[in-house]
Structure 1
Amino acid sequence: MPANNFNIPGLSKQEVIASRSKNGDNRLTSKKEYALIDAIKNLAKEPMVILLMAAAVIYLISGQSSDAIFLASAVILVAAISLYQDSRSRNALDKLKTYSQPHCKVIRDGQTTEIKSEEIVIGDYLIIEEGTSVTADGSIVHSNDFSVNESILTGESFVVYKDKDSTDHEVFQGTTVASGLAIAVVTAIGNGTKLGKIGKSLEDIKEEKTPLEIQINNFIKKMVVAGAAVFCIVWGINYFNSLDVLDSLLKALTLAMSILPEEIPVAFATFMALGAWRMMQMGVVVKQMKTVETLGSATVICTDKTGTITENKMSLARLYLLASDKIAAPDQDLNDAEKALIRMGMWASEPIPFDPMEVALHHGYAETTFSDERPDYKMVHEYPLGGKPPMMTHIFENKSGIRIIAAKGAPEALIAVSELEAFEKEKITMAVNSLASQGYRVLAVGQSDYTGSQFPDQQQKFKFKFIGMLAFYDPPKQHIEQVLKDFYQAGIAVKIITGDNAATTTAIARQIGFKGYEKSISGDELMKMPEKELQRTVMQMNIFSRMFPDAKLKIINALKSNNEIVAMTGDGVNDGPALKAAHIGIAMGKRGTEIARQAASLILLEDDLAKMVTAIAMGRRIYTNLKKAIQYIISIHIPIILTVFIPLALGWVYPNIFSPIHIIFLELVMGPTCSIIYEHEPIEQNTMLQKPRPFSTTFFSSKELTTSILQGSMITAGTLFIYQFAVEHGYSEGLTRSMVFTCLIAANVLLTLVNRSFYYSLLTTINYKNNLVFLIIMITILISGAILYIKPLTVFFGFQSLSLIQLSLSIGIGFLSVIWYEFVKWKKRLQSVT
């Protein structure tokens, strides 16, 4: 059968170019966005930038123009770093949007072609079928049992049947096909569509903040409030003592700047966007940022069987004829009755097959027939897949009025609508069990001799003759056994939810080493269960057979009620509700319907479940590394705050040990460390050997905060020890400042290395592949050395060059204030072994 049997040539290449030139692309254009200007506006509102500008103005008024110029330059540098990080995140997200953009089928030059939805032009012939989204407005020119859900436009979720002869024969962008197939000539695209005219554009959609983002924003707000309060107190105290407005303002600003952890939101945005980009490069498209932080918490994977566990490469493996009660292989010499069985199975399939079983049936028919009848027949009515268990029926007629009514579906469905004796049902059941136990997918085929002109509203009202069954073999994917082992090792349960029967599913599950293949439950049994029993059953059972949409949704909700974090794979229209209900809905990129992809939060481009192992590992890696970055930020901010505050509050000899120029230098060192080094950190060895972290766990838990506070306090003790040592030895303010600053930089460098893992030792993590660690640490050391030993810089920062002993002491104390945590990690490893 030709790829397009509707005698529609479609547009030529030249006509497509002409139409696009005249009418443009199929895009909904909203108000013009100026990403750079918006980013600059947002940056101008940042508290740190405001404080820096305020300090620069005060220095300028005080006549300290060099300090003012330095701070103004620092503002530009901070802005450049922030804008660079913002552009990296924005570019990553833009590329994600292009990957998740819907595709559609059009007829061009007489061939069916798949293109991106934005490439549609007016005049194109658009093929829309069950499970797809309509990507442009058009007028129907051909249809088979076509219905569409227009709730996005009307607000009413019932389906509307349409054909070229109906009063309403238009289809509209954004609506979804509920059943059948249609070909429509495109009449409007982009903003000219009905959807475009009523303003349903992306600018109206506000993205909700994730739980982690809310936690981080709340933490930042608290720190801003604390910074403002401390600023007022310190300003008041200093002004009361000195009556110098500008000097007291500078001291208060210095402390306020040291309190603000503005690196945290930058790190969060960078980690999430670049993490999603990395996953896309691995073949996993993340549609929603919240999915990135949810991935590491997944406790259950609910997967379908066909195409996920198996290859989805169906081959016709066995035939069963009821008349002869024999199972035959299709590679043997087939008799006329067996060829007729294949022929009827083909007629029960779609005229343009896309399902692998239907492709196999069309192929089998082409190989066993002497004369191809397909061009002579036209489909006059279609009953889409439906019922419990499911079946489908197609009605064809030729020009002579000869009619073919063919049905295929689950054996139970065809048995229910066929006139069979008890002994015949028993034969069929035995044959089904025999075929299914070998892992074959079994389809029953029936034929009706209905001659009436008015077709019944339901296919089950036909009286069918049960002809026989076709068995297909879909082998398990070669690597699926290892994928399951990886899930089990990571503490993630796996459950198979399939429309196939229990025997076939069990046979495949046994072959791949699936845990819990011995027991299964059907959709009908599950639906009859009370809520409490259902909650227990979904935890105990791992194979769910003969499932339909309501049953799938019920399983997902029952697992969620047991506080499980549920990931679910799906590809069909019927998977939509369950995909949307799951914490992580996973659609297949190749065989998934558009509805499934829209409902899902994540798309596997290659339909490979192994990519979910990769995605979960990436999710855990992102979360762990972000936690490391934030713990580092908190740990290093504490000594900065206290080293500024304590000498000031206690009236020590050199109360103004650090000024705004020192604080901004430290900020410039910390920013790249947290958002560049830690973002590039590889996954730790034991990450996928641990159980999923509870999703309810707060990011700033008492345990993590205690660790950060202890680390920060020890570094503070080191810097203040150096301070007192310098004072007791009669060192000048410049020399004291240099030693304290060097101690803090040394502690910062070692903290960066120590906090690469809160379990493995520094000797282990030093071998982690992350070239940026060495690069950024070397830059930090070189710049620090320059401002200590290059005279103009030393004078500008108020430093004094250190002797070898003073330098060694400062670095040594800085190292000691951090290295103690290696003993804590050693104790953890010791406890985990015992």
Structure 2
Amino acid sequence: MKRDPGAVPSGLDSGEAARRLARDGPNALPDSGRRRWPRIAADAAREPMHALMVGAALLYLLLGEPLEGGFLFAVVGVMVAMTLYQEGRTERALQALRALGAPMALAWRDGRAQRIPADALVAGDLVELGEGDRVPADGLLLAASGLQIDESLLTGESVPVGKIAAPKDDNAAHAPAPGGADLPWVFSGTLVVQGHGLVRIRATGARSEIGRIGAALGRLAPPPGRLRRETTALARRFALLGGLVSAALVVLLVARGAGPVQALLAGIALAMSMLPGEFPVILTVFPAIGAWRLAHSQVLTRRLAAIEILGSTSALCVDKTGTLTENRMAVARLWRDGVLHDATAGAALTPPQRELLAGALRASRALGSDPMDGAFWRLAGQALPGGGALPAGWTLVHEYGLTPARRALVHVWDEGDGSLLAAAKGAPETVVAMCRLDAAQRTAALDAAAAMAVDGLRLLAVAQARLPAGTARWPADPAAFDFELLGLAALADPLRADIPAAVGACRTAGLRVLMITGDHAGTARAIARQAGLAADGPGAVLSGAEIATLDDAALARRLDGVGVCARIAPEQKLRIVQALQRQGAVVAMTGDGVNDAPALRAADVGVAMGLRGTDVAREAAELTLLDDRFSSLVEAIAAGRRIFGNMRKSMRYVMAAHVPIAGMALLPALLGWPILLYPLHIVFLELVITPACSVAFENEPAEADLMRRPPRPPGDVLFGGRAIASALLQGIWLLCLLGALYGWALARLPEPEARATAFVGLVLGNLALLVSNRQGHGVIRILRTGNPVFWGIVGMALLLLGLAVWLPALAGLLSLAPPPASALAATGGVALLALGGLELRKWTALHPWRHPTA
């Protein structure tokens, strides 16, 4: 059964669809991936830091100090609440990303085709299926043209199966099992790999075949990314080290005559100080919130692990149409028999030119998102009687789709009286080769195409053939038809206004941009020249025909200096990506079609098009450009660099901050001084560190020269040896100053005042670490860099510190007493000295000493 192109499907009205949706529920499997608050709270309660705090609270109760124990229990509740807020914010960001990435369906509602969320489909809806779509629900095909569907998700068979339309009197209530060719049923979750069709939905959500099988796919969790594995291993090492050192401290204190409970409290404080519990927070919050921010820049992150790769991307392989250009096609010129018509001038078409335009319409689809088809229909609305509408009685009886070997679309029409007409539209060299032309005619047509391509126009040739009446068996190749060349159509697709600036930004950032297109080499060269890409040097343009003659090693060598790849078949994109990767490049690749999926999957970062891309491409990619703009991809790379850099700063700050805390929990015991830090003090410091690392650094703006630096080396880890060494040096410097401060205070002040002096110095030193690690430049510029969250944390830390030292009830809990002015001046001096040393270390790293040469 073939669909009558003139018939408009009825579909449901919105009111009836809403009633069915309320009755049957959304067309979705149960959402098992979302973490709700009871699960988040349970996970937070099992954190080692919280377990240590609960143990300390119980010890305080054993000591007969209910106030301290109750306070610790209250703080545990506050920290769990903070975790709920933080992870709730992260979960809301992830839910927003899921909503943005939710599949859409082209359904007929209220008498017109409209894109609606797939989860809003109901039984009875009419849905258009096209190449690259994922079938949104189970249904019966009412019309089909060359439809091939991959049902491997349900059957395990990797070979696509052909589908046919159901007979008009087919009232089957239940679909057969998936699998098998030439059936009229389609199933939710399967992929359209070729052709198009119209389906009436029969079963949605849990009632679909995939719903009956079970929601196992929704319960599958992706393996942890490289960053999480690295930091988890690092946190385990610190936890093990903290446990061993804490046990040794307890033994040492008991051997020196301390009470067992007091020794245990000191040991718990040391364990808490050495446990970098902030690492999981950083790894959870930064990518999720960063991906949410990217979504506001029209870039959807489907896999959060892609964010860590963006910062090291060194090569961008991009489409021309719709990415560099506006994808706003308009017919600019028509050429027939040597006569050129400027379609933009508004002059009337001659009869031969009207025949050329009508032939292009017969080889176009009336319904669809192809901008070239839309350009022909718009011109026909102005230049042809009836807007080029299909004559009464005409029916599409066969379609030859585009293939890599045949870059042309052919429609075969029954004109209603038994006569058959084949209309072809495609690449000039393909269509011209299908026509019966002599050498002079062929040369004239190809020369005309090349001349128009120099102006950056996209070229299509149009042909038609009359077929014998009653033809029922179609040849495998439409070239067997006796085609007559109707002429050429040149379409203009202007370069996006922001492309030259975006390409310039890539060049400054050390990113190589390679344009890959199926267009004529002349068209590609002209657009590349406008965009600022390398297109005019020797060997700057590489053709698909040349690629076909090269082996993989030769292709990798040939790509040096290439800025444009023209007339590229989809499978050649995969070879280009792999060749660049052999050269050591980290490749981001854009694509929109079914055949682009292998290249998108092979690229380090696959980037699908959100407006014109297929579901297959979007699912193969890590990122989706919701607006199809190249500049959005450049912004995403800048954001990826910022996110990775801020994560590294945050982790460096966390480790540096834990060194003086752990040192001041251990050093007094080793030197025989009064214990400085107990669990309550560690809790206070954690209230500063956790929001600083997860909120202040996540909100830190990008450094001014971020996109003037070369890409990060591919093997560069988030927190490698150099970063760890830097953090340890910072922490040890502050620890030395604080140890000297505490010793000085103990020699001059009573123990509570000395403890308060050292504690104030520890908090101020922590803030010095926070300031110094925010940016790579000097402290004056750092303080001028806008980050209101940072100032909020500084203000809150100073307020809490003031309450802890000068509010008698809280000071009593912490065993502190207000220090004299001289001691406070000493703490301020230590903080300034700490900041000065941190900045000097930074300056020497940026300006290494150089010995003069002889």
Change (3 A) 1:831 1:397: farther
Between stretches 273-282 and 816-825, larger displacement belongs to 816-825
1:217-232 equivalences in 2 (<5 Å): 217-232=232-247
Paired residue for 1:118? 119
Q: Distance in 1 between matches of 2:35 and 2:385?
A: 65
1:734-753 equivalences in 2 (<5 Å): 734-753=752-771
1:474 aligns with 2:493: yes
Secondary structure of 2:316 counterpart = strand
Letter in 2 for 1:425: R
1:596 aligns with 2:617: yes
Letter in 2 for 1:733: E
Secondary structure of 2:461 counterpart = strand
Letter in 2 for 1:596: A
1:779 aligns with 2:796: yes
Letter in 2 for 1:326: V
Runs of 5+ unmatched residues, structure 1:
none
Secondary structure of 2:312 counterpart = coil
Aligned partner (choices 311, 322, 338) of residue 325 of structure 1: 338
Secondary structure of 2:402 counterpart = strand
Paired residue for 2:359? 344
Q: Distance in 1 between matches of 2:727 and 2:36?
A: 36
Letter in 1 for 2:589: M
1:338-737 equivalences in 2 (<5 Å): 338-371=353-386, 372-376=388-392, 377-388=394-405, 390-451=407-468, 452-518=471-537, 519-650=540-671, 652-654=672-674, 656-729=675-748, 731-737=749-755
Secondary structure of 1:178 counterpart = strand
Paired residue for 1:139? 140
Q: CA deviation at 1:429?
A: 2.2
Paired residue for 1:170? 185
Paired residue for 1:276? 291
Paired residue for 1:246? 261
Change (3 A) 1:663 1:224: same
User: Is the Cα–Cα contact under 8 Å of residues 389 and 546 in structure 1 kept in the other structure?
Assistant: no
Paired residue for 1:259? 274
User: Is the Cα–Cα contact under 8 Å of residues 29 and 201 in structure 1 kept in the other structure?
Assistant: no
Aligned partner (choices 188, 196, 202) of residue 181 of structure 1: 196
User: Is the Cα–Cα contact under 8 Å of residues 3 and 112 in structure 1 kept in the other structure?
Assistant: no
Q: Distance in 1 between matches of 2:688 and 2:99?
A: 35
Change (3 A) 1:614 1:785: same
Q: Distance in 1 between matches of 2:829 and 2:751?
A: 21
Runs of 5+ unmatched residues, structure 2:
168-181
Q: Distance in 2 between matches of 1:220 and 1:48?
A: 12
Paired residue for 1:79? 80
Q: Distance in 1 between matches of 2:63 and 2:404?
A: 83
Letter in 2 for 1:765: I
Q: CA deviation at 1:3?
A: 13
Change (3 A) 1:795 1:443: same
Change (3 A) 1:550 1:33: closer
Paired residue for 1:209? 224
Q: Distance in 2 between matches of 1:596 and 1:387?
A: 17
Q: Distance in 1 between matches of 2:143 and 2:98?
A: 32
1:763-778 equivalences in 2 (<5 Å): 763-778=780-795
Paired residue for 2:775? 757
Letter in 2 for 1:653: W
Normalization by structure 2: what TM-score? 0.94
Q: Distance in 1 between matches of 2:412 and 2:4?
A: 20
Q: CA deviation at 1:486?
A: 0.9
Letter in 2 for 1:748: N
User: Is the Cα–Cα contact under 8 Å of residues 58 and 69 in structure 2 kept in the other structure?
Assistant: yes
Q: Structure 1, residues 227-266: CA drift from partner, whole Å, max 9, x if none?
A: 1222222223333343743222212111111100101211
Letter in 2 for 1:627: R
Letter in 2 for 1:270: V
Aligned partner (choices 312, 316, 330) of residue 315 of structure 1: 330
Q: CA deviation at 1:340?
A: 0.7
1:291-306 equivalences in 2 (<5 Å): 291-306=306-321
Q: CA deviation at 1:713?
A: 0.7
Q: Distance in 2 between matches of 1:267 and 1:21?
A: 40
Change (3 A) 1:663 1:3: farther
Q: CA deviation at 1:362?
A: 1.9
Change (3 A) 1:34 1:318: closer
Between stretches 682-691 and 603-612, larger displacement belongs to 603-612
Q: Distance in 2 between matches of 1:121 and 1:101?
A: 16
User: Is the Cα–Cα contact under 8 Å of residues 34 and 91 in structure 2 kept in the other structure?
Assistant: no
Q: CA deviation at 1:201?
A: 4.3
Letter in 1 for 2:563: N
Q: Distance in 1 between matches of 2:561 and 2:211?
A: 49
Q: Distance in 2 between matches of 1:751 and 1:346?
A: 68
Change (3 A) 1:69 1:687: same
Letter in 1 for 2:534: K
Change (3 A) 1:546 1:625: same
User: Is the Cα–Cα contact under 8 Å of residues 605 and 621 in structure 2 kept in the other structure?
Assistant: yes
Secondary structure of 2:422 counterpart = strand
User: Is the Cα–Cα contact under 8 Å of residues 414 and 445 in structure 1 kept in the other structure?
Assistant: yes
Q: CA deviation at 1:792?
A: 2.0
User: Is the Cα–Cα contact under 8 Å of residues 502 and 546 in structure 1 kept in the other structure?
Assistant: yes
Q: Structure 1, residues 611-662: CA drift from partner, whole Å, max 9, x if none?
A: 1121111111111111111111111100111111122123x232x1211111
Query: What is the count of residue pairs matched by the alignment?
Result: 827
Q: CA deviation at 1:415?
A: 2.5
User: Is the Cα–Cα contact under 8 Å of residues 714 and 818 in structure 1 kept in the other structure?
Assistant: no
1:20-169 equivalences in 2 (<5 Å): 20-29=21-30, 35-165=36-166, 168-169=183-184
User: Is the Cα–Cα contact under 8 Å of residues 20 and 123 in structure 2 kept in the other structure?
Assistant: yes
Between stretches 488-497 and 260-269, larger displacement belongs to 260-269
Q: Distance in 2 between matches of 1:247 and 1:387?
A: 77
Secondary structure of 2:513 counterpart = strand
Q: CA deviation at 1:489?
A: 1.0
Q: Distance in 2 between matches of 1:403 and 1:320?
A: 25
Normalization by structure 1: what TM-score? 0.96
Q: CA deviation at 1:416?
A: 2.3
Change (3 A) 1:532 1:34: closer
Letter in 2 for 1:820: G
- C-alpha root-mean-square deviation of aligned residues, in Å? 2.0
Secondary structure of 1:289 counterpart = coil
Q: Distance in 2 between matches of 1:36 and 1:78?
A: 14
